[in-house]
């Protein structure tokens, strides 16, 4: 009996220690979200040729050389249809544009990725019925995913220009694109009011997999979506989808199996996962209108465990959407596009 009591005591002690550890982790997470912000922000970072205005930045990608950052912006405003300006720019470490490409290729560019060969993938993100897509529709543009090289030469187009649809040859305002290391292409289709689906294509453009979509496709059910706004992959090959309208991240295997659902990152518009599986999630829409009780900003955590470790709050009075698109460089600096304020920002770590 003595040994049994001792064993029970050890189990009880172990249970108490585990609970205490969990409580400490939760307290740490709460503290991080409450105001542990180790970053210093530089507003209006970056300078385009001639000092022209930078449009809404809808994509950020570090160049493979580790020395430059590529950005996608909407031609000085919030629209590229009919513009002669380049929307894709290569910035050096001081933020100066050293190269610009892509004039005339896009109407309302939205998603942005760079593949292992240095080619760009850009989505046309305005769904049918969205007023922001009307100027492009008048020119027979939109509803496509475009692959181009760093000289602006178009290498591939997925979807039919200006024609929305929900089959394997058409999109409805595709929001984001992910060029996987094996050459496969993941696309979230589409933006608000779009097809609410995730699609995987071969490198040749053949459909391999679809999640969600269909008639009355907007859904809160697991493995279905409401405005899937971004998509990224971690070091394990897991697919992270910013299911923005449902205030959650959904995580899938390469075969489309649902692995997890995370709600601790707020209302996610943009995702970035670095080579060490640090995850950054842009929440530019939380608050009274869309996600009451949550603070908008950037949540930083561990893609392996899901723990939120740091939080960069949006201190300013909301003006439309906040940060929706972001990335980090090899030095850990964060680059983000403020949509409502039409501003590009750089966040530099000021302390450990």
Q: Return the pLDDT at 319.
A: 64
Distances (CA, A) of 350 to 24, 39, 282: 25, 5, 20
pLDDT at 295 over 80: yes
Higher pLDDT, 289 or 303: 303
The token pair at 73 is: 């912006």
pLDDT at residue 8 above 90?
no
Contact by Cβ (8 Å): 128, 79: no
Instruction: State the pTM of this model.
Output: 0.89
Specify the pLDDT at position 188.
98
Average confidence score pLDDT of the chain: 90
Check pLDDT > 50 for residue 34. no
> Other CB atoms closer than 10 Å to residue 30's CB: what's the count?
11
Listed in sequence order, the residues at least 6 apart from 252 whose beta carbon sits closer than 8 Å to its beta carbon are: 198, 211, 223, 238, 239, 241, 258, 259
Torsion of CA 140, 86, 241, 181, to 10 degrees: 110
pLDDT for 109-128, tens place per residue? 999 999 999 999 999 999 99
Nearest to 229 by CA among 283, 278, 273, 274: 283
Given this model, what pLDDT does residue 214 score?
Answer: 74
pLDDT at 145 over 60: yes
* DSSP string over 216-239: T----STT--SSEEEEEE-TT--E
Partners of residue 301 on adjacent β-strands? 279, 308
Band (pLDDT 50/70/90 cuts) for residue 25 is very low
pLDDT at 296 over 90: yes
Q: Per-residue pLDDT tens for 232-257?
A: 999 999 999 999 999 999 999 999 99
């Amino acid at each position: 009996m003595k040994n049994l009591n001792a064993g029970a005591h050890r189990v009880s002690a172990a249970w108490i220690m585990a609970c205490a550890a969990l409580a400490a982790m939760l307290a740490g997470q709460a503290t991080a979200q409450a105001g542990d912000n180790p970053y210093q922000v530089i507003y209006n970072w970056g300078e385009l040729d001639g000092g022209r205005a930078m449009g809404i930045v809808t994509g950020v990608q570090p160049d493979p050389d580790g020395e430059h950052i590529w950005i996608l912006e909407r031609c000085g405003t919030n629209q590229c249809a009919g513009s002669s300006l380049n929307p894709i720019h290569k910035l050096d470490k001081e933020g100066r544009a050293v190269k610009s490409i892509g004039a005339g290729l896009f109407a309302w560019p939205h998603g942005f990725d760079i593949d292992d060969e240095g080619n760009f993938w850009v989505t046309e993100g305005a769904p049918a019925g969205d007023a922001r897509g009307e100027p492009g529709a008048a020119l027979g543009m939109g509803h496509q995913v475009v692959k181009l090289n760093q000289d602006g030469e178009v290498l591939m187009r997925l979807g039919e220009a200006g024609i929305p649809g929900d089959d394997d040859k058409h999109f409805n305002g595709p929001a984001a694109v992910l060029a996987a290391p094996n050459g496969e292409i993941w696309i979230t289709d589409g933006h608000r009011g779009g097809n609410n689906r995730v699609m995987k294509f071969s490198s040749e453009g053949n459909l391999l997999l679809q999640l969600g979509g269909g008639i009355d496709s907007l859904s809160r059910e697991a493995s279905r979506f409401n405005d899937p706004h971004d998509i990224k992959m971690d070091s394990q090959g897991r697919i992270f989808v910013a299911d923005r309208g449902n205030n959650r991240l959904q995580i899938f295997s390469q075969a489309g199996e649902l692995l997890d659902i995370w709600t601790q990152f707020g209302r996610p518009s943009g995702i970035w996962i670095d080579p060490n599986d640090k995850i950054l999630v842009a929440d530019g829409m939380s608050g009274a209108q869309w996600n009451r009780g949550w603070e908008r900003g950037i949540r930083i955590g561990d893609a392996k465990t899901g723990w939120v470790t740091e939080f960069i709050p949006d201190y300013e009075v909301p003006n439309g959407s906040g940060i929706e698109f972001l990335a980090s460089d090899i030095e850990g600096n964060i680059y983000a596009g403020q949509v409502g304020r039409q501003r590009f920002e750089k966040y530099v770590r000021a302390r450990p």
